[in-house]
Amino acid sequence: MNLWKSLSSLLIAPTCPLCDRPSPRFFCRDCDRQLHACQFDRPAADWQGDLPIFAWGKYEGTLKRSIAALKYNGQPQIAQPLGLWLGEAWQQTMQIPACAIVPIPLHAAKQKQRGYNQATLLAESFCQATRLPLASDALWRIRSTEAQFKLGAIDRAQNLANAFAVNSAFRQRSAGVLLLDDIYTTGATVNAAASCLQQQGIRVRGVIALSRTAKR
Ligand SMILES: [Zn+2]
């Protein structure tokens, strides 16, 4: 046993990753409450149309801050509870056959810089909760794209054209796939990913997002 490790775990109380206050739970009580204040009452309200959307919460406040911490502050562990909540909400709401879960990939250069893809981490945790199969390398991001938030809707779509490719080793299940991402904004990213999969004859049943901006 590593003595130093066991000593320091006794001396250093765990802290909440969002506010740094000591907390025996992963998120402290305050942050947990603020996160759940962002949760949608009806996550499947937009489960309709060609590319239906299931979103856990509104992209604002503490949920927005936690996603920023996950992506930009090197706190990948935040994906674990958030992916679990997303999975629990899915299980309570949806009855869809066992589709494979395909996280929206990052370009390799960006992933190397960040050290991980937050959508893959969320999908791993989501799949633990739902027991749906994870297909984390079904899709590749072959073109580095400009940060989407700087662009308008038409520019977003153009920016993403041909950004994705399907891994030739991916074998689809008859039930099809579900895309999973951290934020749903205009839908430009998931639409580009979905059309890439559909061109290969893969059925895309919908999009699962941890958060989304204002409703359509
Ligand atoms: Zn906190």
Q: Where are the domains of the chain?
A: 1-37, 41-212
β-bridge partners, 184: 212
Asked if pLDDT for residue 28 goes beyond 80, the answer is yes
- Determine the pLDDT at residue 11: 65
Distance 23 CA to ligand 1 centre (A): 8
CA-based nearest residue to 164, from 120, 195, 135: 195
Distance 63 CA to ligand 1 centre (A): 12
Distance 172 CA to ligand 1 centre (A): 41
What CA–CA distances, in Å, run from 49 to 15, 70, 199, 206? 43, 31, 19, 9
Q: If pLDDT is split at 50, 70 and 90, which confidence band does 168 have?
A: confident
Distance 82 CA to ligand 1 centre (A): 14
Asked if pLDDT for residue 156 goes beyond 60, the answer is yes
Distance 31 CA to ligand 1 centre (A): 4
Mean pLDDT over residues 115-139, rounded? 96
In Å, how far from its chain's centre is CA 208?
8
Distance 30 CA to ligand 1 centre (A): 6
Structure tokens at 191: 């639409």
Q: How far apart are CA 197 and CA 156, in angstroms?
A: 19
Distance 100 CA to ligand 1 centre (A): 33
- Determine the pLDDT at residue 208: 98
Distance 57 CA to ligand 1 centre (A): 18
Torsion of CA 6, 9, 10, 11, to 10 degrees: 120
Asked if pLDDT for residue 13 goes beyond 90, the answer is no
CA-based nearest residue to 146, from 98, 188, 202, 99: 188
Which of 32-41, 82-91, 106-115, 172-181 comes out lowest in average pLDDT? Answer: 172-181
* Topology (CATH level 3) of domain 41-212: Rossmann fold (3.40.50)
Mean pLDDT over residues 196-212, rounded? 95
Distance 73 CA to ligand 1 centre (A): 15
Asked if pLDDT for residue 105 goes beyond 60, the answer is yes
- Determine the pLDDT at residue 8: 60
Q: What global pTM score does this model have?
A: 0.89
Distance 16 CA to ligand 1 centre (A): 5
Distance 36 CA to ligand 1 centre (A): 13
Q: If pLDDT is split at 50, 70 and 90, which confidence band does 175 have?
A: confident
Asked if pLDDT for residue 172 goes beyond 80, the answer is no
Asked if pLDDT for residue 147 goes beyond 80, the answer is no
Distance 38 CA to ligand 1 centre (A): 15
Distance 17 CA to ligand 1 centre (A): 6
CA-based nearest residue to 131, from 94, 175, 101, 105: 101
Mean pLDDT over residues 29-46, rounded? 96
